[in-house]
Structure 1
Amino acid sequence: MLNKLSFFKALQHDSWVKPFLKHYKKTLWLAIFLGILTFICAGGLMFTSGYLITKSATPPENILLVYVPIVLTRAFGIFRPLLHYLERLTSHNWVFKMTSEFRRKMYDALERDAVFFNNKYRLGDILGLLSEDVAHIQNLYLRTLFPYFTVCGLYVFIIVGLGVISPLFALWMLVLYGLLIFALPLWSVVVNGARQEYEKQLKNALYLDLTDNVLGVSDWIFSERANDYLKRHEENEAKLLMTQEKMRKFERRRDLVGQFIFLAIVVSLIIWASSRFGGTETDSINWIAAFVLCVFPLADAFMPLPTAAQETNVYLDSIKRLNALPNPEKRQKAPEVTAPYELQVKDLVYAYADGHHNVLNGVNLKISPGEKLAILGRSGSGKSTLASLLRGDLTPTAGSVTLNAIKTTEFGDKIAKYIGVIHQTPYLFNTTVVNNVRIGNEGASDEEVWDVLERVGLKKLIKKLPQGLETMVDEAGLRFSGGERHRLALARILLKDAPIIILDEPTVGLDPITERALVKTFMDVLQGKTLIWITHHLQGVEHVDQIVFIEDGQIKLQGAPKQLADNKRYQKLKQVDEGY
């Protein structure tokens, strides 16, 4: 019962399930109404057929005595499949619309907040969201909400109809049918619901293990622990199968109880009909057959309810997981800031999900407009993490990173308008040169593209290519050298015209001559912009305004190159960097 209350409580604050109920409510109510009419026609068909068969067997003194049952049997026989078809057509049309919108909403959340997903969820979690949770929400509509609303309408119709004939018997049917609608589903939720929730957890765990271990299969092989992985996977799979077997045993017992309740309904109808319409033995048989036979089609409506109810445990978990995602429809408009642009890092602390240690611990930094800053440190010191925090790709554990006094995490994708990044290995797509450069500004003209290519020193090279700007780059940009790929990435940034540029170790893997030429290009072309250069050695740092050394997550050394020239530690680092 508590789980039921939790389910409806979760729906009160839901932003993923309820909107579709409201958005397509007319189609929803039409499908439910057609579903009720379908079962009414099914019951009516059996009612009139039972009366007609027994009445015709007497035989009647006049054919007119069975003419009305004949017409009604024919009418119900025609309308039952017709209404069933219309109900299926309407409900599936509703579900297809809902599914389309729901998946679009899910993919929008994934695409627009990819960084959020990457930091909060592992790949297996995302697979669980996109497959298991979406499927469960679909089943929430198809296997729980639709049947429940339909049966409730049918329940009211039965009780009211019987109440007109016999209020006392209607009260008894209210109890028996109420057991099918409320008692059996509640029993299922209490006993089997927890098992079903555990089943879902086991499935999600298998998703995680499968994705993590398939992606890391080489580690398992090299460590000679492949058998350990297979053993663990088989153990989890055995737990899942055992849980499913317990669920099936309970369902068989529960369905047996449901059949006994229907048996009680049938026996009650026989007794009631024989006493209520028992003027003669023949008339009694006619009405007994009519009332008893009309009950059997209703079993198809009432019996699936317990199974649907127990799945609310699974739906509750899925609803919670979905509502923990950023809702693209509720996303606030990204803030706008104007020049001059100032980045400020205050008491910054960051720890990854494992929480074993702080990658950054108490970092304070102010980056003024137009300043060129070099951030140095050994591998794993937190340089690239700091760059991600500056862009708002990561959320600080404590402290803040602000752009013009606004947290960078609040800008979302719009941060690209203010901060551009050139990574260690800039990716070029398997399309034309011009398309690769225009990623920075899709509306740029050919003249603007040529202009930025000239500024980064690639215009002559591109001119010599077979088709100029329309030359295919090849997958991952293999047509170009490492330095040329970085220059193309710089051309994208220039076309975007972002005021703040982060260079995340762009010279790694380049020979010294190419490295010096590329650094000079960066410094010359990015004049007037705020430049944040993440690097692991001191080559070219004399071009920057300020140098920051990060060690063990903290700033250990900071100042202008000239100020640090007499610092013994700086001198030692420079000697090591130059190979002395």
Structure 2
Amino acid sequence: MINRIPIIKALKHDRWVKPFLKQYRKTLILAIFLGILTFVCGSGLMFCAGFLISKTATRPENILLVYVPIVLTRAFGIARPAVQYFERIVSHNWVLRMTSRFRQKLYDSLERDAALFSSKYQLGDILGLLSDDVSHIQNLYLRSIFPMMVAWGLYAIIVISLGILSPLMGLWMLITFGLMVFTIPIWSVVVNGARQSYEKSVQDKLYVDLTDNVMGVTDWILAGRGQEFLNLHVDSRQKLVEVHQKMKHFERLRNFLMQILFLLIVVSLILWGAARFGGQASQLTNWIAAFVLAVFPLNEALAGLSTAAQETNVYQESLNRLNNLPDPDQKAEQKKINIITPYNLKITNLHYTYPNTKKEVLRGIDLNIHAGEKIALLGQSGAGKSTFASLLRGDRKPTQGQITLNGIETDRFGDQITKYLSVINQKPYLFNTTIANNLRLGNEEATDTELWEVLKRVGLKEMIQALPEKLDTKVEEAGLRFSGGERHRLALARVLLKNTPIVLLDEPTVGLDPLTEQAVINTFIKQLDGKTLIWITHHLQGIE
């Protein structure tokens, strides 16, 4: 049964959770110890308080008979919140340290093989990976692993302690608490965990559908399929509601059984106390009250175990998706690629289909682009122009066929492709730093003289010289300080500093007014003279 639990399978070959558990094991052990001690102090407080209340109600012959319970009650009363406070500090420090390293590892993995990742996942999958999966791993640590280990520690203490007092009672606690700690959580994983996993898959599909369809909602409306678009998401939402209702029904049944078991434990402690201390009538109520009240704080530790266990099914899917990513800890040395001029691009029988779809975006494209040529790729919106641009850059891998630069497939270049190919897209991004820093993205070693020279070439020198801080002027977030045409010219200045032999213009003038568009086009054509120029557009402006 245990081996068939999905999370156990996922953890066998895991590279994302187990390494951090091992790396931070000392902090984990301390957090678990403090977590157990918190509940021990809570039970100790209730034990001493129960004994003290019942003892004082019988008018003790001497104050010394209740002095020790008074001291212990105060000690446990102070210790419980203090220990709990330190436990929260240690456990959250443990989780935050691990998840911060985890996020860094995730981003390193995505950065290292962006081409493979973007070819394998759609935008909705990326949102699911970076949003849901990261939070799921954090919850796996904080809401599943830690509470379970604390509960197992308490379970061992209870069974051993009562087993010393009474072997038969220890065996009974082994069975009843075992049902609460192991059996019901495993039942939750098998029954409700499957529903929760299905809920996660439906939620991921909604991510994909919404990101794909909302971005193309205009096409739905123009095609007269607006109601179909709404029905698609209403149906998906209804599936989520139905499975959620089934899960809630199961949870109510499970919680009822947990409370019945807890009631059975309380009743058994009363009967055991009466049998064990029945010969001493004056002490009977004292010990019964002490043992019964001591067990109540444990309910808090055990109540959430089933929920934590069933959620591991969702975590298992996140673990599988993460473990399918490249491992950034394995430092694969990328072979340095050196090619010499002339730089020729060759597209052979190119096909491309987006992951998890059957629609072929590009089909059977053959094209030779020789060094120094200027070509335009013209097509309507949604025809696959931007997809073709991603394939040219090596950001995606063709489903079939290949794109080569001097005989080497572009997706093998990795970051080295920036030595040979630059891109100016629809919305050039400028970072919220100085003009100089934004320009030096093209060439980190560029001097101020070279920056002014390239600004002169793109027609921005006089405008920037008129600014109070000149090259040290902040461009503001996303370059909002400048107009659309000025942002495109700054992007061109970066390309000129990079001085790559091939320049890809992916709809670079979209959103500009006609006069600005023509001026930007003229600047591009003039300044990129002698380079291989690939112009991707959906309208005829500049084609001549």
| TM-score bracket for the superposition, by shorter chain length | 0.7 to 0.9
Query: 2 CA distance for matches of 1:150 and 1:80?
Result: 15
Give me the whole-angstrom Cα distance separating, in 2, the residues matched to 1:313 and 1:481. 48
Counting only pairs closer than 5 Å after superposition, residues 144-163 of structure 1 correspond to structure 2 as 144-163=144-163
- Does structure 2 retain, via aligned residues, the 8 Å contact 1:347–1:398? no
**Matched ranges for 1:560-571 at <5 A:** none
Counterpart residue identity of residue 351, structure 2: Y
Match of 1:522 among 520, 524, 528: 528
What does residue 63 of structure 2 align with?
A: 63
Give the C-alpha shift of residue 47 in structure 1: 1.7
Rounded Cα–Cα distance in structure 2 between residues aligned with 1:415 and 1:114? 13
The alpha carbon displacement at 1:183 in A equals 0.8
Identify the range of structure 1 (414-423 vs 507-516) with the bigger mean alpha-carbon deviation.
Answer: 507-516
What is the deviation of 1:154? 0.9
Q: Shift of residue 405 of structure 1?
A: 6.7
Match of 1:572 in 2: none
8 Å contact kept, 2:479–2:487: no
Partner Cα separation in structure 2 for residue 200 and residue 138 of structure 1: 16
- Partner Cα distance (1:513, 1:322) in 2: 47
Match for 2:200: what amino acid?
Answer: K
- The question of whether the paired residues in 1 share the 8 Å contact of 2:206 and 2:236 is answered with yes
| TM-superposition CA deviations, 1:433-476 (whole Å, max 9, x none) | 5454323123421112234456x474876688566656788987
| Cα deviation, residue 504, structure 1 | 5.7
- C-alpha distance 402-262 of structure 1, shift in aligned 2 (>3 A): same
Letter of the aligned partner of 2:238 in structure 1? A
CA contact (8 A) 1:31 1:91 kept: yes
Q: Distance in 2 between matches of 1:397 and 1:56?
A: 82
Pair 253,338 (structure 1): closer, same or farther in 2 beyond 3 Å: same
Q: Which residue identity lines up with residue 80 of structure 2 in the other structure?
A: R
Change (3 A) 1:208 1:280: same
286-295 or 10-19, larger mean C-alpha shift: 10-19
- Structure 2 residue matching 1:292: 3-state secondary structure: helix
CA distance in 1, matches of 2:411, 2:286: 75
Q: CA deviation at 1:30?
A: 1.2
Counterparts of 1:366-377 in structure 2, within 5 Å, are 371-374=371-374
TM-score (norm 2): 0.82
Distance 1:185 1:535 in 2: 57
CA contact (8 A) 2:460 2:489 kept: no
Q: Distance in 2 between matches of 1:106 and 1:439?
A: 25
2:456 paired with 1:450: no
8 Å contact from structure 2 (residues 54, 289) kept in 1? yes
The equivalent position to 1:398 in structure 2, one of 388, 396, 400, is: 400
Query: Which shifted more, 457-466 or 507-516?
Result: 507-516
Aligned length: 530
Which amino acid is the alignment partner of residue 350 of structure 2? V
The answer to whether 1:415 aligns with 2:417 is yes
Equivalent position SS for 1:359: strand
Given that 1:202 and 1:236 are in contact with CA atoms closer than 8 Å, whether structure 2 keeps it comes out as yes
Q: 1:38 to 1:403 in 2, by over 3 A?
A: same
**How has the CA–CA distance of structure 1 residues 66 and 425 changed in structure 2, closer, same or farther, with 3 Å as cutoff?**
closer
Give me the whole-angstrom Cα distance separating, in 2, the residues matched to 1:478 and 1:57: 78
The 2-side partners of 1:329 and 1:75 are apart by 48
Is the contact made by 1:348 and 1:399 (CA closer than 8 Å) also made in structure 2? yes
Question: Structure 2: how far apart are the matches of 1:226 and 1:457?
Answer: 44
What corresponds to 1:359 in structure 2?
A: 362
Q: Secondary structure at the match of 1:440?
A: coil
CA contact (8 A) 2:159 2:171 kept: yes
2:256 paired residue number: 256
Kindly provide the CA deviation profile for residues 177-216 of structure 1, in whole angstroms up to 9, marking residues without a partner as x: 1111111011111221122122223333443444444434
Name whichever of 6-15 and 138-147 sits farther off: 6-15
CA distance in 2, matches of 1:536, 1:305: 57
CA distance in 2, matches of 1:306, 1:479: 56
- 2:200 and 2:314 in contact (8 A); partners too: yes
Offset at residue 110 of structure 1 (A): 5.9
Deviation of residue 129 (structure 1)? 2.8
Quickly say closer, same or farther: Cα 1:315–1:224, change in 2 above 3 A. Answer: same
**Counterpart residue number, 1:234:** 234
Give me the whole-angstrom Cα distance separating, in 2, the residues matched to 1:213 and 1:384. 17
Q: Which moved more, 1:269-278 or 1:191-200?
A: 269-278
Q: Give structure 1 stretches of 5+ with no counterpart.
A: 540-576
Equivalent-residue separation in structure 1 for 2:236 and 2:72 (angstroms): 57
Query: 1:76: Cα distance to partner?
Result: 1.4
CA distance in 2, matches of 1:105, 1:464: 43
Kindly tell me: are residues 299 and 343 of structure 1, through their superposed partners in 2, closer, same or farther at Cα, counting changes over 3 Å?
Answer: farther
Look up the SS of the partner of 1:294 in the other structure.
helix
**Partner SS state of residue 372, structure 1:** coil
For the residue of structure 1 that corresponds to 2:444, the secondary structure is: coil
Q: Partners of 2:149 and 2:93 in 1: how far apart? A: 18
How far apart, CA to CA, are the structure 1 residues paired with 2:119 and 2:264?
57
Distance 1:389 1:48, change over 3 A: same
2:351 matched to which residue of 1? 350
Check whether the contact 1:189–1:310 (CA below 8 A) recurs between aligned residues. Answer: yes
Give the match for residue 332 of structure 2: 332
**Tell me, which stretches of 5 or more residues in structure 2 are unaligned?**
none
Higher alpha-carbon deviation: 63-72 or 116-125: 116-125
The percent of aligned pairs where both chains have the same amino acid is 53
CA distance in 1, matches of 2:537, 2:231: 43
Does the aligned pair in 2 maintain the 1:52–1:69 contact within 8 Å?
A: yes
**Secondary structure in 1 matching 2:124:** helix
Please state if 1:135 is matched with 2:135. Answer: yes
CA contact (8 A) 2:458 2:490 kept: no
Q: CA RMSD in A?
A: 4.0
| Distance (Å, rounded) in 2 between the aligned partners of 1:463 and 1:279 | 97
Query: For 1:156 and 1:431, how far apart are their aligned partners in 2?
Result: 58
Does residue 1:192 correspond to 2:203, yes or no? no
> Which SS does the other structure have where 1:349 is aligned?
strand
Counterparts of 1:395 and 1:223, CA distance in 2:
31
Deviation (angstroms), 1:423: 4.8
CA distance in 1, matches of 2:281, 2:102: 59
Mapped contact 2:27–2:94 kept (Cα < 8 A):
yes
> Aligned pair 1:498/2:500, yes or no?
yes
C-alpha distance in 2, partners of 1:3/1:176? Answer: 23
Change (3 A) 1:226 1:513: closer
Q: Distance in 1 between matches of 2:519 and 2:166?
A: 100
Alpha-carbon offset, residue 118 of structure 1: 4.9
Paired letter, 2:53: I
Q: Which residue of 2 aligns with 1:168?
A: 168
- Quote how far apart the aligned CAs of 1:306 are: 0.9
In 1, the alpha carbon distance for the partners of 2:284 and 2:481 equals 89
Measure the CA separation in 2 of the matches of 1:375 and 1:269: 86
Q: Give the equivalent residue in structure 1 for 2:16.
A: 16
Structure 1, 417-426 or 386-395: larger mean CA deviation: 417-426
Partner SS for 2:181: helix
Distance in 1 between residues matched to 2:55 and 2:196, nearest whole Å:
49
The CA deviation at 1:379 is 3.0
- Counterpart of 2:394 in structure 1: which amino acid? G
- TM-score (normalizing by structure 1): 0.77
Is the CA contact (8 Å cut-off) linking 2:118 and 2:395 kept in structure 1? no
Query: Match of 1:149, SS?
Result: helix
Residue pair 1:349, 1:399 contacting (<8 A) in 2 also: yes
Q: 1:184 to 1:494 in 2, by over 3 A?
A: same
SS at structure 2 position matched to 1:439: coil
Partners of 1:48 and 1:72 within 8 A in 2? yes
For the pair shown, the structure with the greater C-alpha radius of gyration is: 1
Pairing 1:114-125 to 2, within 5 Å after superposition: 118-125=118-125
Q: Which moved more, 1:27-36 or 1:220-229?
A: 220-229
Question: Deviation string for 1:368-395 (max 9, x for gaps)?
Answer: xxx3345566537977655533421111
* Alpha-carbon distance, 1:247 to partner: 1.4
1:20 Cα deviation after fit: 3.2
The one-letter amino acid of 2:22's match is K
CA distance in 2, matches of 1:59, 1:459: 95
Equivalent residue for 1:300?
A: 300
Q: Secondary structure at 2:441's aligned position in 1?
A: helix
